A = this chain, B = another copy of it.
Amino acid sequence: MSKIYQHSTLAALMAKQMQGTTTIGELLTHGDTGIGTLDGVDGEVIILNGDVHQADEFGNVNHITDMDTKLPFATVHFASSDAIKLDLAPTDFASLADLQHGYHFTNNFAALELHGNFKDVLVRAAPKSTAPYPSLLEVAQKQPTFTAENISGTIVGYFAPELYQGTVAAGWHLHFLSDDHTFGGHLLETHTEQLQGTLELMSDFQLHLPIENEAFRDHTPMADGLKEGIQAAEGGH
C-alpha cells in the first residue's frame, strides 16, 4: 500500500477557500515529501525529507520551521524505498509526460522526485491573497514567474489521472527547489541535465477535507468552467 495524502481540493481554492485549514505539523504526520501553498495561497511549498520551504511571490525561498504555519491546500506522502529508481537522460517538462506511458500509470496516482542539474528552470509563485479572497483564476492571472539557469535542485510532485481534475490538478503538478534553497516555485518549464530520482506508483489517495471549517462547509462550488479554470490557473501542466 502506497498512499498520497491531500488536504482540501483545487476546486475549493478555485471557489475562494484560501484560508489555512491545516498546519505544517499536522501535515508532516501524513508525509515527509510533498507540495502545497500557505494561508491565502501564499507561494509554493516544497517538502523534502520533512524539511519545509516556501518559494514566495517576491522570488525568495523561506525556511518554514513553525509547525503551526497554516496551509489551505497540500499534498504529501512518505517517500518509500520501494519506489522505482529513475536515471533520466537530459529532458524537458513535456517529455516527463512520457513516464506515464512507459510506466503505465494513466489510471492511477504517482509521486515523482528528481534531483540533478538543470540548464534552465521556469517557475511561478502564487501571490498571497487576503480575505475576502479572489478566485484562484484571478490569482493566477497576476502571478510572477522566475527563471534560473545552470542550477542544481529537486523536482517533487504528483501525477493524477484526468478523472480527478478538480479534486487535484490533473496531469503533473510539480514544484522545484534549488539545492542552496534560494530558488523555487511551481514548475512551468525546464531543460535538464541527467537527473536521478524516484517514481512511486500509488495505490491509495486519501483526501482530507476541512469539515470543521464553516466557510469550507458552506461554500458554493463552481458549477461551470471548473476544469477550464483550473487549466488556466495551473498553467498548462
Contact = CB atoms under 8 A, between A and B. Distances in A.
Interface in A163-214: 163-164, 166-167, 201-212
Interface of A: 1, 3, 9, 11-12, 104-109, 161-164, 166-167, 201-212, 216-219, 221, 226
The 8 closest A-B pairs by CB, nearest first: A206-B206, A205-B207, A108-B209, A108-B211, A203-B211, A104-B217, A204-B208, A11-B163
Contacts of A166: 163
A202 B212 CA distance: 10
A3 B205 CA distance: 12
A224 B207 CA distance: 25
A163, A202, A203, A216, most chain B CB atoms within 10 A: A163
Given A204-B206, A205-B207, A211-B203, A219 B107 contact: yes
Contacts of A104: 217-218
Contacts of A161: 221
Stoichiometry, as copies per complex, reads 2
A201 B216 CA distance: 13
A25 to B, nearest CB: 15
Contacts of A205: 206-207, 209
A218 B163 contact: no
Contacts of A164: 167
B207 A105 contact: no
Contacts of A218: 104, 106-107
8 contacts: A12-B107, A106-B218, A107-B209, A161-B221, A163-B166, A202-B211, A203-B208, A205-B207
B9 A163 contact: yes
Contacts of A211: 105, 108, 201-203
